[in-house]
Amino acid sequence: MTSVADTVMIGWTGSTPLAAAAFANTFFNIPLFFCVGISYAITPLVAKAIGENNTSDAVAVLRHGLIINLTAGILVTGFIFSIRPLMPFMGQPEEVVQLALPYLDIIAPAIIPTMLFQTFRQFTEGLHHTRMAMVIVILSNLLNIALNYLLIFGYVGFPELGLNGAGWATLISRIFMGVSMAWYVWAHADFRVYRQGFSFGKYSRLLTSKMLHIGIPAGTQFIFEAGAFGFSSIMMGWIGTIPLAAHHIALNLATISYMTTSGMGAAATIKVGYFLGKRDKSNMRRSAFIMFAMAAAIMAVWASIFLVGRFYLPSLYNGEIHVVQMAASLMIIAAFFQLSDGVQVVCAGALRGLQDVKIPSLLIFCAYWVISLPIGGLLAFQFDLGAEGIWIGLLSGLTITAVAMVYRFHKLSEKLSFPSDD
């Protein structure tokens, strides 16, 4: 919703700032999602430890996760600044690049407090405590909206910073988010037994390696998926500013629906990891397949909303008729890939609960980079379908991913056995 608020309020200033935000976020989101994927190693390991009634292991996971995530955030922020000079050579309109560069400089450091938040969010989720993370994110979004209002448009004596104002609002709200989540875990009575997780030093090479073997492939999944959508934004820029702005609007709306099932993906990780620790195969499979069905049902509702509101919803972001019309045509394709998108994100969460991340990463790479993007490029530039061709390619990638993920979870969980229980 931080991204939604930014996109809506930036869109009110014109299509060029909106296109610049889309371009800059391509360089920001892919590294961010990689870091978020690294943090996902915490939840299944904590959930499994709790299923085994092993508090000391949960503390160790928190302590190692904190240093791993903060280190990843710092390194990735440096990486973003190192690739920044490449932006003018990506074939984008010059006016878009000029606005995107300073905006990226402001939002790039936001990755570090985001990783602080992710550490404690993933830890509390593994303990089945999910509500406070939701409350903190809601408060962070309200802060972001208020700061957007003041800094983008220059109200109440604040400077009118335009797109850069949205960048400062994002950075400040994410600092609030990270600090608040860390303070909550430190101060709340329910977590006092885990306070040793805040300490530094005396790290286990074995546990660090185990967490990285889960986290890096999970982060790689996000790189492949987010990278595909990011590269689709670059391809849109080759077509023009209006297609890029329309693409950003449609993708932003699709992200809202995606996140409703992303939460269910986190639940799938928790429950599968918990039942793995309990050695309860039956309830593991039952809970996962129930969530697959729930995700499909929820996304069917979103598909209907996208079809009915395909003109109205983009108009909330931008009033330019050509942008709205193009976004509306993309919303039709977005409606078709809702079911696949919802099922694949929940199934990816279930596979993380089984600590299976390497093969899913390979599946995602093949679906998007071997099939989806080449199809999209071919349809867009060889068959003159333009923006719609790129989105048809994305539809194919999401569908292939969903089918492959469900099949893999079914086969892995079906052959799972616990010999010591026989």
pLDDT digits (tens, 9 = 90+) for 148-173: 999 999 988 899 999 999 999 999 99
- At 242, give phi and psi (nearest 5°): -65, -50
Report the range of poorest mean pLDDT among 31-40, 131-140, 193-202, 402-411.
193-202
What local confidence, expressed as pLDDT, does residue 222 receive? 81
Average pLDDT over residues 350-377: 90
User: Using the 8-state DSSP alphabet, how is residue 52 labeled?
Assistant: T
Supply the mean pLDDT for the chain. Answer: 90
Average pLDDT over residues 257-270: 87
Q: Print burial letters for 242-267: b (CB count within 10 Å at least 16), e (below 16).
A: bbbbbbbbbbbbbbebbeebbebbbb
Tell me the pLDDT band of 418, cut-offs 50, 70 and 90: low
Average pLDDT over residues 97-109: 95
In three-state secondary structure terms, 316 is coil
Tell me the pLDDT band of 227, cut-offs 50, 70 and 90: confident
Question: Residue 1: is its pLDDT beyond 80?
Answer: no
Percentage of the chain lying above the pLDDT 70 cut: 99
Question: Residue 213: is its pLDDT beyond 50?
Answer: yes
* Pair of tokens at residue 183: 């303070």
Average pLDDT over residues 170-184: 96
Most confident of 165-174, 185-194, 240-249: 165-174
- Which are the contacts of 209, defined by CB distance < 8 A and separation ≥ 6? none
Average pLDDT over residues 189-196: 88
Question: Residue 142: is its pLDDT beyond 80?
Answer: yes
Amino acid letter, residue 47? A
- At 311, give phi and psi (nearest 5°): -95, -40
Instruction: Answer whether 62's CB lies under 8 Å from 42's CB.
Output: yes
User: Using the 8-state DSSP alphabet, how is residue 88 labeled?
Assistant: G
Report the range of poorest mean pLDDT among 108-117, 265-274, 321-330.
265-274
| Chain centroid, CA 209 distance in Å | 24
Closest CA to 123 of 177, 168, 172, 69: 69
What local confidence, expressed as pLDDT, does residue 44 receive? 86
Q: How many CB atoms lie within 10 A of CB 224?
A: 24
Question: Residue 420: is its pLDDT beyond 50?
Answer: no
What local confidence, expressed as pLDDT, does residue 78 receive? 96
Closest CA to 224 of 107, 114, 348, 319: 348
Question: Residue 352: is its pLDDT beyond 90?
Answer: no
What local confidence, expressed as pLDDT, does residue 328 receive? 94
Give the span between the Cα atoms of 286 and 289, in whole angstroms: 5
Question: Residue 419: is its pLDDT beyond 70?
Answer: no
Average pLDDT over residues 12-19: 86
* Pair of tokens at residue 212: 């990285």
Average pLDDT over residues 20-31: 88
Report the range of poorest mean pLDDT among 60-74, 235-249, 401-415.
235-249
Give the span between the Cα atoms of 32 and 108, in whole angstroms: 9
Residue for token pair 């430890």? 49
Report the range of poorest mean pLDDT among 55-64, 135-144, 221-230, 246-255.
221-230
**Burial class of 372 by CB neighbour count within 10 A (0 to 12, 13 to 18, 19+):** buried
Tell me the pLDDT band of 145, cut-offs 50, 70 and 90: very high
* Pair of tokens at residue 156: 């109440």
What local confidence, expressed as pLDDT, does residue 79 receive? 95
* Pair of tokens at residue 160: 């009118």
Question: Residue 260: is its pLDDT beyond 60?
Answer: yes
Give the span between the Cα atoms of 122 and 65, in whole angstroms: 9
What local confidence, expressed as pLDDT, does residue 109 receive? 96
Average pLDDT over residues 101-109: 96
* Pair of tokens at residue 235: 């391809």
Question: Residue 422: is its pLDDT beyond 70?
Answer: no
Closest CA to 332 of 310, 362, 300: 310
Give the span between the Cα atoms of 84 and 23, in whole angstroms: 12
Average pLDDT over residues 134-158: 93
Average pLDDT over residues 304-321: 91
Type and span of the H or E element at 96: helix 94-107
Percentage of the chain lying above the pLDDT 90 cut: 53
pLDDT tens for each residue of 286-309: 999 999 999 999 999 999 999 999
**Helical pair 15-39 and 163-187, crossing angle rounded to 10 deg:** 20
